[in-house]
Chains A and B, each alone.
Chain A
């Protein structure tokens, strides 16, 4: 059974700092990995999707990497802003359009 772990559970940084969020998974036979952002009381917003054949994806200040063999993904946020404060979740899918397994998330606070 796939298990997804996100470390740290919470992170607080000053504005402007670059930071890395970690996601690890136990079964490397994945189809894709997706990073999400969740604001309190809201649904999840997709940030980046990395297919199993890809090594990284970039969108603006965000860069996600994937190392299938080691079962790891990182989300790099450059020049953090208070508006980046949210919970970040990663999810792995083991088949095409199949079910996704989620980590418990990392709650990020960016202090002005």
Chain B
């Protein structure tokens, strides 16, 4: 089945450590996105990529970094510079004006 796989589902890190969240899609979509969701809130865009080897900052990119070396992969690194990293992270993809598809998310807890 085609879809988006995010791993791991739960991630725990100590403050000051960088952590990388995985996102893989087999939908052959050109565009991929990373969103952050805090309790009771909607989604806020961190980074997005419309094509391999290219990406743009979203609304809250500070403290995050991404790479897009392969069409199917768009990993997100949460750096120690991110002040409030504990959140639910969602990866999505789409092709052109087709519906946006989401993975099941990674819940990151930093203590």
Interface residues of A (CB under 8 A from B): 4, 6, 31-32, 34, 36, 41-46, 49, 51, 89, 91, 93, 96-105
A93 proximity list for chain B (CB < 8 A): 97, 100
User: Nearest chain B CB to A54's CB is how many angstroms away?
Assistant: 11
Q: Contact residues of B with A, CB < 8 Å?
A: 6, 30-31, 33, 35, 40-45, 48, 50, 56, 58, 88, 90, 92, 94-105, 107
A residues near B102, Cβ cutoff 8 Å: 36, 43-46
Closest partner residue, chain B, to A32 (CB atom): B97
User: Quick check: B96 and A104 within 8 Å, CB to CB?
Assistant: no
Pairwise interchain contact A43-B103, C-beta atoms closer than 8 A: yes
Contact between A42 and B104, CB atoms less than 8 A apart: yes
Q: A97-B31, A98-B50, A100-B45 are in contact. Are A46 and B99 (CB under 8 A)?
A: yes
Q: Are B105 and A43 in contact (CB under 8 A)?
A: yes
A96 adjacent to B42 (CB under 8 Å): no
Closest Cβ of chain B to A30, distance in Å, is 11
In angstroms, Cα B98 to Cα A46, docked, is: 11
What separation, in Å, do the CA atoms of A97 and B94 have in the docked complex? Answer: 7
Please list 28 pairs of residues, one from A and one from B, whose beta carbons are closer than 8 Å in the complex, sorted by A's number.
A6-B42, A31-B97, A41-B105, A42-B105, A43-B6, A43-B102, A43-B103, A43-B104, A43-B105, A44-B92, A46-B102, A49-B99, A51-B97, A89-B43, A93-B97, A97-B31, A97-B94, A97-B95, A97-B96, A97-B97, A98-B48, A99-B33, A100-B33, A100-B45, A102-B35, A102-B43, A103-B42, A104-B40
Q: Check B42–A102 contact: CB distance below 8 A.
A: yes
Interface centre among B40, B95, B107 (most CB of A within 10 A): B40
Report chain B residues within 8 Å CB of A91: 43, 100
Q: Is the beta-carbon distance between A105 and B42 smaller than 8 angstroms? A: yes
Contact across chains for A4 and B33 when beta carbons are under 8 A apart: no
Minimal beta-carbon separation of B36 from chain A (angstroms): 11
Assembly CA distance A81 to B48 (angstroms): 36
